[in-house]
């Protein structure tokens, strides 16, 4: 029994000695050698790390002063300068639309959301048409968090642009100046500011990846001359500015190409030169004044082509011309009322000219027809190519004003 008690006392003593040694090491009394190097006490090691690392807390020190701009690279300084200059002029736009419940009663519902740019200190905001389309209520939230109720005063579905107006009262506003999109070059650096996925005031950077891209929108209209960029554009960026390094708007971010719903580095912006052209009309009239040919157009489709035994399968059949209108005066011919056919709820008159081109630009669909006249103004003259029977003819037509509700 004495032997067992002695062994227990021995091991208890060894354990106590080990604890004492560990405590002495912790207070820096005992020195430790690292790989045969000069002995360094733990206290000295702590002192050596104190300028860059808090040994006790295991955290890096917090800087007491912000670094000066000279400490950033030139590219970083450029990004910072553009963001600080333009960020205050980028707004978040949220909308409400009218929906219907199970009893077919109208009820308010959350609509889309996006971004916009303040282009005038009186409260004019440039954004996308699809951001505010069908909205009965529009809220504009500024960079400082203040929210105003806005009104859509003009929209252009053909270029996916719209202007929203709100009353800032005495609130000072920051604006973004228009740049020049006619001088852009592939490879040029660009920056985008917006509210992707509700993450407000987000900056992304990239380059111009392509110019003059044509894309067909959800109305079948081809938007031409789009800017392609790899700056990340995601849902919520729509309507926000694409900026050059001088902080000027060179495009309005409008859509992305994506198989997944997120950015894959292919985004598109409407050139600012297009916005510069249409914004005055949107503010003054609520729509863009464009030229028009006074006809009732019908896009060719297979069953119509077969029934009418037409020699072509794509183009615009002139079902009717307006009596005394510009098409009538130019010599274009509409269909024969004795050759009427019904298509759904509409009546098509056969035998009229088929438009195949305008000013040399092929017209195969209604979208092409609107696209060919998109940049025109009332009073402009265009050359219209038609197929009459088997003959191709050209007529000069002086355009009239298109009804703003056409699209």
DSSP summary character for residue 32: B
Q: Minimal CA–CA distance to 288: which of 132, 405, 123?
A: 405
Question: How many whole angstroms separate alpha carbon 294 and alpha carbon 384?
Answer: 13
Q: Are 360 and 354 in contact (CB under 8 A)?
A: no
> Is 171 among the catalytic positions?
no
**What is the number of other CB atoms lying within 10 angstroms of the CB of residue 324?**
9
Active-site choice (160, 281, 353, 368) = 160
Active-site choice (94, 115, 117, 130) = 130
Question: How many whole angstroms separate alpha carbon 202 and alpha carbon 191?
Answer: 10
Please tell me the predicted confidence (pLDDT) of residue 103.
Answer: 66
Instruction: Measure CA of the first residue to CA of the last residue in the chain; give whole Å.
Output: 105
* Half-sphere exposure of residue 401: CA atoms within 13 angstroms, side-chain side: 8
Please tell me the predicted confidence (pLDDT) of residue 401.
Answer: 93
Q: ∠ CA 346-350-355 to the nearest 5 degrees? A: 95
DSSP summary character for residue 184: -
38: CB partners within 8 A, 6+ apart: none
| Longest CA span, the chain | 130
Q: Are 119 and 175 in contact (CB under 8 A)?
A: yes
Please tell me the predicted confidence (pLDDT) of residue 223.
Answer: 85
Strand boundaries in 19-105, DSSP class E: 90-100
Q: Minimal CA–CA distance to 269: which of 192, 205, 202, 200?
A: 192
Question: How many whole angstroms separate alpha carbon 125 and alpha carbon 153?
Answer: 10
Q: Minimal CA–CA distance to 369: which of 326, 318, 325?
A: 318
DSSP alpha helices (H): ranges in 289-394?
302-308, 326-330, 366-372
pTM: 0.74
3-state secondary structure of 37: coil
Phi first, then psi: what are they for 101, rounded to 5°?
A: -85, -170
| Per-block mean pLDDT, blocks of 10 residues, the chain (407 long) | 58 68 55 44 44 46 63 90 94 86 70 90 96 93 94 94 96 95 95 82 92 82 88 86 96 79 77 95 94 96 94 96 95 94 91 96 91 92 95 96 67
Q: Are 46 and 32 in contact (CB under 8 A)?
A: no
> Is 117 among the catalytic positions?
no
Distance of CA 347 to the CA centre of its chain: 39
Q: What is the full DSSP assignment across 260-287?
A: SSS--S-EEEEEHHHHHHHHHHHHHTSS
* Half-sphere exposure of residue 275: CA atoms within 13 angstroms, side-chain side: 33
DSSP summary character for residue 61: P
What residues does 394 pair with on adjacent strands? Answer: 385
Please tell me the predicted confidence (pLDDT) of residue 65.
Answer: 65
Q: Minimal CA–CA distance to 274: which of 371, 149, 398?
A: 371
Q: Retrieve residue 345's tokens.
A: 């709820």
Please tell me the predicted confidence (pLDDT) of residue 195.
Answer: 85
Active-site choice (238, 263, 365, 376) = 238
């Amino acid at each position: 029994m004495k032997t067992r008690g002695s062994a227990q006392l021995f091991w208890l003593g060894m354990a106590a000695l080990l604890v004492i040694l560990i405590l002495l090491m912790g207070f820096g009394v005992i020195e430790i050698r690292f790989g045969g190097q000069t002995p360094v006490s733990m206290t000295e090691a702590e002192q050596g790390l104190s300028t860059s690392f808090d040994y006790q807390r295991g955290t890096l020190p917090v800087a007491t002063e912000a670094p000066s701009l000279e400490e950033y690279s030139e590219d970083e300084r450029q990004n910072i300068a553009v963001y600080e200059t333009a960020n205050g002029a980028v707004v978040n736009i949220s909308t409400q639309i009218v929906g219907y419940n199970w009893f077919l009663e109208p009820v308010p519902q959350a609509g889309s959301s996006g971004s916009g740019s303040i282009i005038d200190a009186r409260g004019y905001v440039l954004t996308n048409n699809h951001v505010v389309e069908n909205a009965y209520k529009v809220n504009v939230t500024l960079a400082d968090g203040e929210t105003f109720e806005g009104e859509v005063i003009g929209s252009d579905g053909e270029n996916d642009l719209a202007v929203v107006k709100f009353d800032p009262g005495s609130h000072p506003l920051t604006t973004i100046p228009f740049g020049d999109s006619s001088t852009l070059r592939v490879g040029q650096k660009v920056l985008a500011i917006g509210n992707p996925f509700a993450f407000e005031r987000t900056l992304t950077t990239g380059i111009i990846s392509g110019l003059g891209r044509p894309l067909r929108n959800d109305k079948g209209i081809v938007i031409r001359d789009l800017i392609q960029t790899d700056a990340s554009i995601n849902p919520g960026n729509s309507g926000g500015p694409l900026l050059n390094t001088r902080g000027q708007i060179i495009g309005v971010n409008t859509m992305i190409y994506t198989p997944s719903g997120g950015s894959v580095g292919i985004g598109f912006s409407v050139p600012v030169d297009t916005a510069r052209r249409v914004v005055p009309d949107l503010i003054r009239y609520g729509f863009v004044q464009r030229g028009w040919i006074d006809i009732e157009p019908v896009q060719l489709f297979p069953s119509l082509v077969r029934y009418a035994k037409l020699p072509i399968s794509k183009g615009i059949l002139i079902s009717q011309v307006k009596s005394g209108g510009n098409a009538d005066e130019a010599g274009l011919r509409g269909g024969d009322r004795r050759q009427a056919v019904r298509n759904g709820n509409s009546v098509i008159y056969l035998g009229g000219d088929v438009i195949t081109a305008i000013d040399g630009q092929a017209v195969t669909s209604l979208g092409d027809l609107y696209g060919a006249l998109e940049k025109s103004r009332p009073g402009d003259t265009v050359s219209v190519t038609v197929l009459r029977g088997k003959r191709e003819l050209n007529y000069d037509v002086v355009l009239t004003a298109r009804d703003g509700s056409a699209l």
